[in-house]
């Protein structure tokens, strides 16, 4: 007897017919074909408990192989598939169809503020450059201990929230300041600076604060909270930015 498989379940599921027809309204752009971006509708049979990413795959695999998007892990860890779904930045793999009113067409667009290269694929380089600019690595002085550095559970907890970042760019590309001026570091870079500024083991907080004190740094933030709403990891992004601002004023962190 072979290993039990899901075949039976699938057919049973079909009998109960959980499938509904959903229209995906997707922003298409391919400069090899046309200089203009257009909207295209695709009707898909899908179980509402499935993900938006499953819908995109059904389109790519069964209808139009040229539909282009990034994805990898499909469960909200790798950060590849941030996109604008019904006007909000989300990960396609963490958004279930049933949660976004499938009775109306679901709009899917690339994230904003970064150059669109094809369909839902944007140029991530400016985003990663801002990340690299905040020196996102532990900097210490003096001799290394032979064992681990000690850190209390409380000190570890202090920066726990900002360690969760997966660099998906959902926050940065939801920020109106970033849309208007791509020079702004953006929330994700500040989150990653925060992760080190508030790490008790790190000794370069002052340097990072000076970088963020720049005219394109934290002071550009207008606390619209778009970033916090957009973060698929539930990071309190705006709060982290406020903590960096406060550290710049008080020079205490």
Q: Which is nearer to another protein, 46 or 221 (CB)?
A: 46
CB of 217 to another protein, least distance (A): 19
Q: Which is nearer to another protein, 186 or 221 (CB)?
A: 186
CB of 153 to another protein, least distance (A): 5
Q: Which is nearer to another protein, 49 or 246 (CB)?
A: 49
Q: Which is nearer to another protein, 78 or 100 (CB)?
A: 78
Where on the chain is the footprint of another protein (CB under 8 A)? Answer: 1-9, 12, 30-33, 49, 60-62, 64-66, 68-80, 94, 96, 117-119, 121, 124, 128, 131-132, 135-138, 140, 144, 147-153, 156, 159-160, 163-167, 196, 199, 201-202
CB of 176 to another protein, least distance (A): 25
CB of 113 to another protein, least distance (A): 18
Q: Which is nearer to another protein, 115 or 224 (CB)?
A: 115
CB of 216 to another protein, least distance (A): 19
**Over the chain, what HEC string results?**
CCCCCCHHHHHHHHHHCCCEEEEEEEEECCCCCCCCCEEEEEEEEECCCCEHHHHHHHHHHHHCCCCCCCCCCCCCCCCCCEEEECCEEEEHHHCEHHHHCCCCCEEEECCCCCCEEECCEECCHHHHHHHHHCCCCCCCCCCCCCCCCCCCHHHHHHCCHHHHCCCCCCCHHHCHHHHHCCCCCCHHHHHHHHHHHCCCCCCCHHHHHHHHCCCCCHHHCCCCCHHHHHCCCCCCHHHHHHHHHHHHHHCCC
């Amino acid at each position: 007897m072979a290993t039990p498989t899901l075949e039976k379940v699938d057919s049973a599921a079909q009998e109960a017919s959980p499938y509904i027809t959903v229209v995906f309204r997707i922003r298409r752009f391919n400069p090899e074909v046309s200089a203009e971006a257009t909207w295209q509708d695709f009707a898909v049979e899908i179980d509402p408990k499935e993900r938006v990413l499953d819908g995109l795959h059904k389109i790519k695999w069964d209808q139009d192989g040229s539909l282009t998007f990034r994805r990898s892990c499909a469960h909200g860890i790798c950060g590849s598939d941030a996109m604008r779904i019904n006007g909000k930045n989300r990960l396609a793999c963490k958004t279930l169809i049933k949660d976004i009113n499938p009775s109306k067409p679901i709009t899917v667009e690339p994230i904003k503020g970064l150059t669109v290269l094809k369909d839902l694929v944007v140029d991530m380089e400016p985003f990663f450059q801002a990340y690299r600019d905040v020196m996102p690595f532990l900097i210490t002085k003096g001799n290394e201990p032979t064992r681990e550095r000690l850190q209390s559970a409380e000190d570890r907890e202090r920066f726990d929230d900002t360690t969760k970042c997966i660099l998906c760019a959902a926050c940065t590309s939801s920020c109106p300041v970033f849309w208007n001026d791509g020079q702004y570091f953006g929330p994700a870079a500040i989150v990653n600076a925060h992760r080190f500024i508030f790490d008790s083991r790190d000794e370069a907080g002052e340097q990072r604060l000076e970088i963020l004190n720049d005219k394109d740094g934290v002071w550009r933030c207008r606390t619209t909270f778009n970033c916090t709403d957009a973060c698929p990891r539930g990071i309190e992004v705006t709060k982290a930015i406020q903590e960096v601002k406060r550290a710049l004023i008080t020079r205490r962190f």
